[in-house]
Structure 1
Amino acid sequence: MESTSYLKAIRRNWWLVLLTALVALGLALAVSVISQPRYRATARFIVSPNGALLSEPNSLLNSLNTLDRRSLIATFGEVLTSERIRMQSAEALGVSPATLQKYRFTTAVVPEANVLEFSVEGPNRRDVMVVAQTMGTEAIDYVGNIYTLYTVDFLDTPFAPERPVSPNALRDGLVALTLGGALGSVLALARERRRTPPGAGGMAAGYADGRERLPAIPWNQFESQLDRAISTKGRSVLSVALLRLDGLEDYVDTLPPQTVQKIQNLAAQMLRRELLEKDVIGQFDRTGLSVILNGMSGPAAAEIFKRVMQNLTRPVRYDGGGQTMQLYPRFGIAEHRDHASGPEIIRQARQALDLASRDERRIVVYESLPKPVSLDPNRQI
């Protein structure tokens, strides 16, 4: 599954994800330290009909209906942040209008209520309170002269905030860690994609799962080829060899399938260079190969695999970033004798391979003895 491959890629490149997240966290904390604090003071206003001027019940009802349409509340919000109120407030405070440019003003109507919130943000905790108080007072006076049927007054007066609203080191750090981790995951996937061999993601003919075609036939075809070779070999010799790449087995569940196939493909190519055209190479399992050697005895096959083993035991580079892997090839060889069937000779080769995997002998030739024996280097071929 794609999600499983993504998780494996991120797990293999965990250091990149961690490094990116830590760098983002460090930058966020550095910005928090050098940034100027911003404080916020909030005032709340309530709008209501002016009972002293509404002597008739109908006038009171009409005023309440107007408040329900919210237009008066919205108008008062626009007045609060208007240029006129800013100019009048600057004059009342004894400062230039440009001084108020350092402040940020926002208004919000409380849902289902005739209440308006007015917030002022600035660099000084006391100044934001004074500016909010002054602008609120100026707006109340201005609106009171226009809408005499309504009164606007402070519901909550502003106060000097204790803590700044920004920067917030905890909040900024958590956001930076999250974004840094996400960016690190993207970089990890990009790095994994760059390491994937070219063309490995394409659909290869004969493979329903889209894997790259190997120079080796599937196992069921290999068994059929072996039965055919046994039935037609006559008096000629025939051997079967099984190759297991022990170093690759440790990475099957962590490396991308394309990378595993690339290494297996490399081993198959090395075998093909040493074998005859009539010899057959098949897939033994996820990390192994199988070979039918027509006209070749077991000891002769062992000599060929010695040359292959020397190449495979060198560190294998499997990506463009210089990543290498140490392989430990093991060979189990069985020579066809005594009218043995295909499954029987494969069983003998498996037994030889298991013996090669358990001890220091990397190449074991099965012989018609109670147990497999290793190749005698002084044996005549």
Structure 2
Amino acid sequence: MELRLYLRMLQRGWWLIVLTALVSLNAALIASYLATPQYQTSARFVVSPNPSIISGRDAVSSLATLDKRSIVSTYAEFLNSQRIYQETLDALGLSSSQVKGYTHNAVVLPDANILELTVVGPNPQMTALLANSIGQHAIGAIREVYAVYDIRFLDPAIAPEKPFSPKPTRDAMLAVALGVVVGSALAILREQIQAPLDAYRRRRIIDGVSTAFTRRHFERRIEEQITRDPQGTFSLGLLQLSGLEELIDTLPQPIVQRVLRQVTRTLRDELRGNDIIGRWNDIGFAVMLPATPGNGAARTLTRIHAALSEPIELEPGGDVIQLEPNIGIVMYRNGDTLPILRERLENSVEHARRHAEQPVFLMEPAA
């Protein structure tokens, strides 16, 4: 259930996921285009007992000493030494500014007496030159201090043919994957934030008992209709359920809710999709029929009157009540305002209540 909920969130926020992925892809491609290519090369060195000094049983013990890794780690620090690096630059006639974009690092390979010196920089020939030169100077410095264990080149560095960074294809794929992950998180976060906001907005415009619009929202829609088309035609109907007048305060709330929601369903079944339904008061509903003249509204509301005149069960198989609907109808005239329409609408339904022979009353505009 939880998984399906998240899948629906992602489905609704698909555009956000796609947008984030595209933004990430473009950012990665632009960064790859603007980035300076970086080349990487490595030189490897082997550490072993010096055969000119050690032989026989001493060679065996010296190999055992190498297994403790302290000698090899010390040699790695020579390769990483800032003094060795500066001496190398001086020997090559290079200044620090000329190698500003270069880095070097030496590590001991696992389970081996092998050192690897890696140099990274924007020029492939310079990276190889620095790696080999640093190695050569470090070998000289080490031999001055440690004569028992020799260090020499195993694999000299060579100039790389292709940069190791940037890699547009790899970066683009990673960017898209990251964009999808971030977009999915944003889509879920958006749903989590939007759900309470939607619920709050819904509570402001939807009557929780009947599920029709609140009166405040209904009247706002009337004003919007007048503003949008001040010379247009629309009709309003007000339904008063007189049969509920004495029961609304005594019936249990669940029963009142069931009855009023059934009234709302009946109105929706009989009206068009663009017609608007609002709860006017405790026992009243109002409807707005856009682009509908008074006679057309009267025919529709007469049909609704017949549907609402049928007995309604308070509970399945239980008592029934008669809603006794009375309906007043008015048609908008050019120049009418909301207060005028409200007054005419309430007068028309009051007329319908007082004249039982005319339960659906259309108040004709005054000449």
TM over 0.5: yes
Distance 2:203 2:5 in 1: 15
Identity %: 34
- The answer to whether 1:128 aligns with 2:127 is yes
Stretch of structure 1 that moved more, 303-312 or 30-39 = 303-312
1:240-275 alpha-carbon deviations (Å, 9 max, x no partner)? xxxxxxxxxxxxxxxxxx999999865824289766
Residue in structure 1 matched with residue 13 of structure 2 by the alignment: 13
In structure 2, C-alpha distance between the alignment counterparts of 1:21 and 1:272, rounded to whole Å = 42
Q: Do residues 143 (structure 1) and 142 (structure 2) align?
A: yes
Q: Is the 8 A contact 2:40 2:119 kept in 1?
A: yes
Partner letter of residue 259 of structure 2? V
Return the offset for 1:303.
12
- SS at the partner of 1:342? coil
Shift in alpha-carbon separation, 1:59–1:98, aligned structure 2, 3 A: farther
Comparing 271-280 with 175-184, greater Cα deviation is found at: 271-280
Q: Classify the secondary structure of the residue corresponding to 2:76.
A: helix
| 2:87 is aligned with 1:91 | no
SS at match of 1:16: helix
Q: Structure 1 83/304 Cα, relative in aligned 2: closer, same or farther at 3 Å?
A: closer
Correspondence for 1:373:
none
What SS does structure 2 have at the residue aligned with 1:51?
coil
Q: Please, which runs of 5 or more residues in structure 1 have no aligned partner?
A: 201-257, 284-288, 317-330, 347-378
- Give the counterpart of 1:342 among 316, 321, 326: 316
How many angstroms does 1:309 deviate by? 4.9
* Contact 1:334–1:345 under 8 Å retained in 2: no
Q: Which position in structure 1 is the counterpart of 2:301? A: none
Distance 2:318 2:253 in 1: 18
Between the aligned partners of 2:184 and 2:82, the Cα distance in structure 1 is 48
Q: CA deviation at 1:343?
A: 5.2
Partner of 2:36: 36
**C-alpha deviation, 1:180, in angstroms:** 1.5
Distance of 2:139 and 2:57 partners within structure 1: 25
What is the aligned partner in structure 2 of residue 291 from structure 1? Answer: 259
Query: Does 1:68 pair with 2:67?
Result: yes
Give the residue type in structure 2 aligned to 1:305. Answer: L
Structure-2 residue corresponding to 1:101 = 100
Structure 2 Cα separation of the partners of residues 282 and 308 of structure 1: 25
Which structure has the larger Rg? Answer: 2
Q: Give the partner amino acid of 2:136.
A: T
Encode CA deviations 1:102-138: one digit per residue, 9 max, x unaligned. 2111222111110111100000011101111111111
Partner in structure 2 of residue 45 of structure 1: 45
TM-superposed deviation, 1:63: 1.3
State the AA in 2 paired with 1:116. Answer: L
Q: Which runs of 4+ in 1 moved over 3 A?
A: 197-200, 258-267, 271-276, 278-283, 301-304, 306-316, 331-337, 341-346
Distance 2:194 2:259 in 1: 30
Provide the C-alpha distance between the structure 2 equivalents of 1:335 and 1:315, rounded to a whole number of angstroms.
20
TM-score of the superposed pair, with normalisation by structure 2: 0.61
Contact conserved, 2:50 with 2:148, CA < 8 A, in 1? yes
Q: Secondary structure at the match of 1:170?
A: helix
Q: How far 1:99 moved relative to its partner?
A: 2.8
Structure 1 length-normalised TM: 0.59
Q: Report the count of equivalent residues.
A: 266
User: What is the CA–CA distance in structure 2 between the aligned matches of 1:291 and 1:96, rounded to whole Å?
Assistant: 90
Q: Report the Cα distance in structure 1 between the residues aligned to 2:43 and 2:271, rounded to whole angstroms.
A: 82
1:145/1:267 CA distance change after superposition, 3 Å? same
Q: Deviations over 1:186-223 (max 9, x none)?
A: 221232233213595xxxxxxxxxxxxxxxxxxxxxxx
Q: Which amino acid aligns with 2:31?
A: V
Task: Describe the shift of the 1:172–1:303 C-alpha distance in structure 2 as closer, same or farther (beyond 3 A).
Answer: closer
Secondary structure class of the residue paired with 1:270: coil
1:24 aligned partner: 24
SS of equivalent residue, structure 1 residue 120:
strand
Q: Which amino acid aligns with 1:77?
A: A
Q: 2:212 is paired with a residue of what secondary structure?
A: helix
1: CA distance between counterparts of 2:45 and 2:83?
19
Instruction: Tell me, yes or no, if the aligned pair for 2:205 and 2:213 is still in contact at 8 Å.
Output: no
Q: Which amino acid aligns with 2:171?
A: D
Q: 1:107 to 1:302 in 2, by over 3 A?
A: closer
Kept in 2: contact 1:336–1:345 (CA 8 A)? no
CA contact (8 A) 1:106 1:118 kept: yes
Q: Could you tell me how far apart the structure 1 residues matched to 2:273 and 2:166 are?
A: 60
**Shift in CA distance, 271/140, structure 1 to aligned 2, threshold 3 Å:** closer
Q: CA RMSD in A?
A: 4.2
- Call closer, same or farther: CA 1:136–1:165 in 2, change over 3 Å: same
Q: Is the 8 A contact 1:49 1:151 kept in 2?
A: yes
Is residue 210–residue 264 contact of structure 2 (8 Å, CA) maintained in 1? no
Q: Does 1:268 align with 2:210?
A: yes
Q: Tell me if the contact between 2:211 and 2:264 (Cα under 8 Å) persists in the aligned partners.
A: no
User: Distance in 1 between the 2:25 and 2:42 partners?
Assistant: 31
Q: Measure the CA separation in 1 of the matches of 2:209 and 2:271.
A: 9
Following the alignment from structure 2 to structure 1, what is the Cα–Cα distance between the partners of residues 254 and 266? Answer: 17
